Amino acid sequence: MIPGDVAAPRVDPLGGEPYSGDETEYKVECVKYAEKVGRYYKIWLKWAGHDEVSWRWRHELVTETKNTELLKEIEGAVAVERDRLL
């Protein structure tokens, strides 16, 4: 799976877990910026060990991490985007 992508759930004919098999965790190097899309925010991330920047939805990241530093970076980027849109 490409860092930042979300695997689409698949129906397993054998009844297995849809996300089983991809337990890879990627380390976020930094939050680059946030982008408001409708009611939601895309958070653009730089991944450790990768050159590309990719996005994840804010609400997904917030539920998936307990890293307080990352959460602060996310909220900081969202605040900058909110101010930009005023």
pLDDT for the residue 24 = 75
With a cut of 60, say whether residue 42 has pLDDT above it: yes
Q: pLDDT-derived band of residue 17, with 50, 70 and 90 as boundaries?
A: low
Q: Does residue 13 lie within any of the structural domains?
A: no
Q: What token pair was written down for 55? A: 């996005």
- What's the mean pLDDT when you consider all of the chain? 84
The number of folded domains in the chain is 1
Q: Does residue 61 lie within any of the structural domains?
A: yes
Q: Does residue 37 lie within any of the structural domains?
A: yes
CATH of residue 54: 2.40.50
pLDDT for the residue 25 = 79
Q: pLDDT-derived band of residue 80, with 50, 70 and 90 as boundaries?
A: very high
Q: pLDDT-derived band of residue 60, with 50, 70 and 90 as boundaries?
A: very high
Q: What token pair was written down for 67? A: 């890293």
Q: Does residue 10 lie within any of the structural domains?
A: no
- Report helix, strand or coil for 86: coil
Mean pLDDT of 23-35: 90
8 A C-beta contact, residue 70 and residue 16: no
Give the span between the Cα atoms of 77 and 36, in whole angstroms: 11
Regarding predicted confidence, which is higher, 4 or 38? 38
* List of long-range contacts for 6-14, beta carbons under 8 Å, 24+ apart: 6/56, 6/60
